[in-house]
Structure 1
Amino acid sequence: MEDNVKALFEQNYYGLVELSRRLVGSNETGEDIVQDVFVKLLASDIALPGGEQPAKSYLYTMVKNASLSHLRKIKVIHNYRQSNPLIEISDEDILEDIIYAEVINQLYASIRNLPEASRNIFNMAYFEEKSNSEVAESYGISINTVKTQKRRAMASLKKMLFPVLRSIKILLF
Structure 2
Amino acid sequence: MIDLSIEYLFRKHYSRLCHFAWQILSDNELIEDIVQDAFMGYWNNKHTIANNDIAIKNFLYTSVRHACYNIIRREKVEQRYHLLNQTETVEELQTIAKIIRAEVMDEIYKIIQTMPNGCQSIFRLGYLEGLTNPQIAEQLNISINTVKTQKQRGLKIIKSKLSPELFSLLTLVFIEG
TM range (shorter): 0.3 to 0.5
Which structure would you say has the larger Rg?
2
TM-score (norm 1): 0.40
Whose RCO is larger (CA < 8 A, sep 6+)? Answer: 1
TM-score (norm 2): 0.39
